[in-house]
Amino acid sequence: MTNDITFFRRFQDDIISGRKTITLRDASESHFVVGQNLRTGCYEDDAYFCTIKVTNVTAVKLSELDEEHARQENMTLVELKQVISEIYPGEESLWEIAFSVESVD
Does 20 participate in catalysis according to the annotation? yes
Catalytic site residue 67? no
64 is catalytic: no
What is the Cα–Cα distance from 82 to 50, expressed in whole angstroms?
26
Which position among 6, 21, 40, 73 bears the catalytic label? 73
Closest to 25 in 3D by CA, of 95, 84, 92, 78: 95
Please pick, among 6, 20, 40, 96, the residue that the annotation labels catalytic. Answer: 20
Could you tell me the sign of the dihedral formed by the alpha carbons of 92, 96, 97, 100, in that order? positive
71-to-19, 74, 80 alpha-carbon distances in Å: 8, 5, 9
Active site residues: 20, 23, 73
